[in-house]
Amino acid sequence: MRLRGSAWLALSSFLISSILTGAVRPRYGGTLTVELSTAWPTLDPAAIQTALSIPIAETLVRVSSHGETEPVLAVAWQHDPDFKRWRFSLRPKVTFHDGEALTAASAAPSLLAVLKQKYGEVSMEAGGQALVVQADHAMPELLDVLALPSAAIVRKSDASPLIGTGPFRVASWEPGRRLMLAAFDGYWGARPYLDTVAIEFGAGRGRADLFDIPVGPARRILPEGLAMWSSEPRTLVAIAAVNAQPAQLQALALSIDRAPIVNVLAQHLGDAAFGLLPQWLSGYAFLFQSTPDVTRARQIASQLRPAAMTLSYPASDLFLRSVAERVALNARDAGIAIQPMPGGNGNLHVNLSMLEWPLESADAADALKRIAEQVGAGDRARQLDPAKPDTLYQFERSLLDEYRIIPLVHLRESYGIAPRVHFQPSRSDTFHLHLEDAWVEK
Amino acid sequence: MSFRTKVFLSITATVVLAVWIVAAVVSTLVTQSFERRDAQRTAGIVSQYRREMGRRGEDVARRVKAVADSDIVQRLAVNFNGPVDSSQYYSQALALAQEQSLDFLELVGPDAGIISSAEWQARFGYKEDWIAQPTDWNAQMAFLKKEDLADGSALGLIAVRSVKAGDGTLFVAGGRRLDKEFLDSLPVTDGVRVQLYRNFEPLAPADALVEEVRRQPREQTRVSGAVTETAIPLQGREGQLLAILLIENSRAELLSLRQYIQTTAGAVGVAGVLLGLMLSFWTASRVTRPLRDLASSVREVAAGNWDTRASVSSSDEVGQLARDFNGMTEQLREQRDRMIQAERVAAWRELARRLAHELKNPLFPLQITIENLQRSRDAAPEQFDEVFRESTSTLLAELGHLKTIIGRFSDFAKMPAPQLEPVDVNQVAREVMQLFEAQLRAPGQPAIEIKLQMEAYPGEVRADPDQLRRALRNLVLNALDAMPQGGTLTVRTSRHDNKVALEVSDTGQGLTPEECDRLFTPYYTTKLHGTGLGLAIVQSVVSDHKGTITVQSEPGKGTTFRIELTT
């Protein structure tokens, strides 16, 4: 996998920031204040899709930004040649936040629901720290599934909304308003530097040590001295065809100028998307790059004489609204009438739908499969071979040529970081910002 | 049609005509006055809206100027160096527009590219070529312009101001939307409705005046029912028709006032007509009353009331007529009195003649007899006794004759009042005719045939039976006297409605018309030895019974007397 230039730029900016503050030695203690513009209604790991890693619960394995599987709660794993039987050895001396020891038996319930949803009938055998997963069919991408947040190992308890094994435990939780985390002294790894993390939701005043920068045309000027961290592009913004002719969609795709969308509407917090997967994930996205061809689009439209189309967008998302309006403006230049309208796919009169797809997986094949399932091509995606990038390219090319989906932009997730906040630069994950690596000056 | 009715109708027609003329004149004057007032009001409203549009244009220009002078725009102009990164200014136009309460605002670079747009944010980077044309925008007033929006088009009152930016010029184009809200924000005048028809979109079923102005873009005014419509073409900088402002000025108030005045005038007119009717009625009555009195007096005089006098209540022609009428009746009455006097003299002469005649005939034999007695006593005393007996017998007979004559006159003079009772006319007729049967059958009497033609049920009349029999007897005697050579005597009864008729007919020589006119005159007779009282007595009896008696006769064909009595 290759990192695109802009991703490297973001990463290097963070590294430079770290280097600049490298003279400051990490210390324990202190509280990190965080402001997040989007409220969390729940602490369910599966429902939290953010680049800011809140390490309360952990998975058996994780996928690095380079696509490599790394051990977390599982220290080793083996599988048979058919990928039908997997055996995991769990990390010893790991305890949950409530003091309960992590065993195969305590981990199995969290995994079983996820695996059954993914593979159907799955059996588990738990013995001590050994956990065996077996199915009648092959599970070659099981590690990717187990790396998903939804596969985090948690315990159910009335005493706490979420009990995991991560470096932070939940100290208090007011759904949608405030989350207080405290360092888990019994963490199996190194204790986090911070004593507590106070997260405020919906504040958005930029006075915290760490705050997110929402993507959108509203320009946010960071106060002097603050650093910005941006993740790799992790969200695809695209137009999904609901009820439109392919030729109409072709004309529309040719008319769209993505540069203004990225530079102005997304405020450079993303990359123009010509393919479904970002360059850092697929490595071949540059092959889809193109320029707008309004003349060609107008020719196609003039032959079609298309009726006016509607383009829906989530009513509360100002960014997608602005993108929809820009797309409509570009389309008008090609002679295609598009009426942006707030709403969803439930509207019978919707021809096109503006959507965001979070790229949950750092694995290209898995991410592509998920997108394919969203546009009704999930069956064809099952034949994808992660080991053969050309099959991914061919499959993505076919999806694009069918105009079922028109990619527009890959968005990054960005955060503003106060000068007193530092992150340990050793971690190679550029996909997440890990709170357990942060410390604050006095 | 009576004279009073004619006078009444004439006066009424005059009054109604006068009232109608007055009402028509008042209505016409009121209508003209109101039309002038309506035209003035409409012109005032149109002028007010024009002034207000001008004022709003100045306001827009001032706000756009404020944007151009703002720190943000000035900083943008100062820092201007080549193509502008719209990402820094994407929302700037919207913020500035909200700050200045502008609906439209665009920051346009020297290359005519939109840096930031408030009304259509997504349009950044697009060109506004019209704004880069050589124009001294800072000297330009606000103008109308069609603004393209994401959801269509809108009409805007736009002003443009330029800001020096490096070697180029930065343009600030802003304005306010000219829509219903804008119209609603204009000063409201009661009864005025303003509508805006935009010319760059399909018009709703529009007013005919709007269509007319679309064809010929010039201000036009038309009165339509209760509304005065004025259509004002709104044109852009290059004279293109962008919209039509339709000002509807309600005439309801004026119409209501006019209606009120006309209704009041109508009511007054009706009252005037009613008053005129009463006045004309009174006038007609007052004017014609002397004439009616005079006519009544004339009828009274015609009915025989010669003492009637017309009242003289004025000195005008009618009063003179009444005085002349009174003079005339006075003269007529005097002439009548003189005539009555003459008739009385004539009657007395006739009576004297009759009396002389009637009395002379018996007196002459009396004189002869007495002279014969005197001669007999002197000449032949021996025969005196015989002559005395014969003479006294003659004297008694003649004295009896005189007594009879005197008795008749006495009877006529002493006609008693009738004693009315139900009487069967047929019965009376039969009784009377029975008295005459023996006389008619006596030898030597002329052959007279009697015919009784009685109505089966004539009914009873209220009459004095003795007087009725006497009258009938006189008529029968009169008929017998008219037929000395014999003939046919017919007595007939009949009934017609509430009257019973009794007729006595003879077949004698008949009477001449002159004789008929005098038949009922007392002491008039056509007979040698008649007293002339028989038919006078009959007429007196009939008159006392409120009946009538008529005679129908022709010479040679007999005579019929007909008595009619009311049942």
Q: DSSP of A313-362, one letter per residue?
A: E-TT-HHHHHHHHHHHHHHHHTT--EEEEE--TT-TT-SEEEEEEE---S
- Using CA coordinates, name the residue in chain A closest to B122: A326
CA distance A14 to chain B (A): 23
Which residues share a beta bridge with A313?
A342
User: Cβ contact (<8 Å) for B123 and A329?
Assistant: yes
Chain B: which residues have CB within 8 Å of chain A? 85-88, 90-91, 120-126, 150-151
CA distance A340 to chain B (A): 8
CA distance A13 to chain B (A): 21
Q: For residue A239, what pLDDT is reported?
A: 93
Q: B409 pLDDT exceeds 80?
A: no
Percent of chain B with pLDDT over 70: 94
- Using CA coordinates, name the residue in chain A closest to B119: A325
User: Cβ contact (<8 Å) for B122 and A326?
Assistant: yes
Q: For the CA atoms of chain A, what is the radius of gyration?
A: 23
CB contact A73 to B (< 8 Å): no
Which residues in chain B touch residue A322, judged by CB atoms under 8 angstroms apart? 121-122
CA distance B125 to chain A (A): 8
Give the residue ranges of DSSP H helices in B482-565: 513-518, 534-544
User: Cβ contact (<8 Å) for A219 and B87?
Assistant: yes
User: Cβ contact (<8 Å) for A219 and B125?
Assistant: no
Window 194-253 of A, Cβ < 8 Å to B: 217-219
Which residues in chain B touch residue A338, judged by CB atoms under 8 angstroms apart? none
- Using CA coordinates, name the residue in chain A closest to B116: A264
pTM, whole model, 2 decimals?
0.61
Name the residue with higher pLDDT: B131 or A424: B131
- Using CA coordinates, name the residue in chain A closest to B91: A218
Instruction: Report the pLDDT averaged over residues B406-431.
Output: 82
User: Cβ contact (<8 Å) for A264 and B86?
Assistant: yes
DSSP for A147-159, please give it: HSGGG-B-B--SS
Q: For residue B538, what pLDDT is reported?
A: 87
Instruction: Report the pLDDT averaged over residues B5-22.
Output: 83
Long-range (24+ apart) CB contacts under 8 A made by B123-128 are: B123/A329, B124/A260, B124/A264, B124/B86, B124/B89, B124/B90, B125/A260, B125/A264, B125/B86, B126/A329, B128/B171, B128/B173
CA distance B208 to chain A (A): 32
Report the distance separating Cα B247 and Cα B210, nearest Å.
11
- Using CA coordinates, name the residue in chain B closest to A267: B87
Instruction: Report the pLDDT averaged over residues B8-28.
Output: 83
User: Cβ contact (<8 Å) for A263 and B124?
Assistant: no
Burial of A422 per CB tally in 10 Å (0-12, 13-18, 19+):
buried
Which residues share a beta bridge with A183?
A168
CA distance A264 to chain B (A): 4
User: Cβ contact (<8 Å) for A218 and B91?
Assistant: yes
Among A99-113, B294-308, B351-365, the range with the most confident prediction by mean pLDDT is A99-113
Which residues in chain A touch residue B150, judged by CB atoms under 8 angstroms apart? 325, 328-329, 340
Report the distance separating Cα A409 and Cα B440, nearest Å.
161
User: Cβ contact (<8 Å) for A263 and B150?
Assistant: no
CA distance B91 to chain A (A): 6
CA distance B74 to chain A (A): 19
User: Cβ contact (<8 Å) for B122 and A339?
Assistant: no
DSSP for A349-416, please give it: T-SEEEEEEE---SSHHHHHHHHHHHTT-HHHHTT--TT-HHHHHHHHHHHHHTTSEEEEEEEP-EEE
Q: For residue A24, what pLDDT is reported?
A: 67
Mean pLDDT by runs of 10 across the 442 residues of chain A is 41 45 74 90 84 89 80 94 94 94 93 87 91 90 87 87 93 92 92 93 77 76 80 90 87 93 89 91 88 92 84 89 92 90 70 86 81 84 76 90 92 91 75 87 84
Report the distance separating Cα A63 and Cα A359, nearest Å.
13
- Using CA coordinates, name the residue in chain B closest to A319: B122
Q: Are B369 and B395 in contact (CB under 8 A)?
A: yes
Among A257, A265, A329, the strongest candidate for a mutation testing the B interface, having the largest count of B CBs within 10 A, is: A329
DSSP letter for A21, please: T
Which residues in chain A touch residue B91, judged by CB atoms under 8 angstroms apart? 217-219
User: Cβ contact (<8 Å) for A260 and B91?
Assistant: no
Q: Are A200 and A35 in contact (CB under 8 A)?
A: yes
Among A170-174, B249-253, B258-262, B384-388, the range with the most confident prediction by mean pLDDT is A170-174
Smallest Cβ–Cβ distance between B121 and the set A219, A267, A322 belongs to: A322
Which residues in chain A touch residue B122, judged by CB atoms under 8 angstroms apart? 265, 322, 325-326, 328-329
Among A294, A326, A341, the strongest candidate for a mutation testing the B interface, having the largest count of B CBs within 10 A, is: A326
Q: For residue B319, what pLDDT is reported?
A: 82
Could you tell me the pLDDT band of residue B531, with boundaries at 50, 70 and 90?
low
DSSP for B329-395, please give it: HHHHHHHHHHHHHHHHHHHHHHHHHHHHHHHHHHHHHHHHHHHHHHHHHHH-GGGHHHHHHHHHHHH
Report the distance separating Cα B435 and Cα B449, nearest Å.
15
Interface predicted TM-score (ipTM): 0.74
Which residues share a beta bridge with A180?
A172, A198
CB contact A328 to B (< 8 Å): yes
CB pairs < 8 Å spanning A and B = 43
Please give the C-alpha separations between residue B178 and each of A304, B104, B186, B231, in angstroms, as whole numbers.
36, 11, 11, 16
User: Cβ contact (<8 Å) for B91 and A217?
Assistant: yes
Of A76-85, A394-403, B217-226, B402-411, the one with minimum mean pLDDT is B402-411
Report the distance separating Cα A4 and Cα A234, nearest Å.
13
Which residues in chain A touch residue B152, judged by CB atoms under 8 angstroms apart? none
CA distance A328 to chain B (A): 8
Q: B435 pLDDT exceeds 80?
A: yes
User: Cβ contact (<8 Å) for B90 and A219?
Assistant: yes
Q: For residue A22, what pLDDT is reported?
A: 47
Instruction: Report the pLDDT averaged over residues B262-267.
Output: 80
Closest CA to A216 of A270, A141, A151, A273: A270
Which residues in chain B touch residue A339, judged by CB atoms under 8 angstroms apart? 151
CB contact A322 to B (< 8 Å): yes
Among B76, B85, B91, B153, the strongest candidate for a mutation testing the A interface, having the largest count of A CBs within 10 A, is: B91
The amino acid that residue A58 corresponds to is E
Which residues share a beta bridge with A74?
A90
Which residues in chain B touch residue A328, judged by CB atoms under 8 angstroms apart? 122, 150
Q: For residue A16, what pLDDT is reported?
A: 42
User: Cβ contact (<8 Å) for A219 and B86?
Assistant: no
Window 7-46 of A, Cβ < 8 Å to B: none
- Using CA coordinates, name the residue in chain B closest to A339: B151
Instruction: Report the pLDDT averaged over residues B345-373.
Output: 75
CA distance B84 to chain A (A): 11
Name the residue with higher pLDDT: B14 or A3: B14
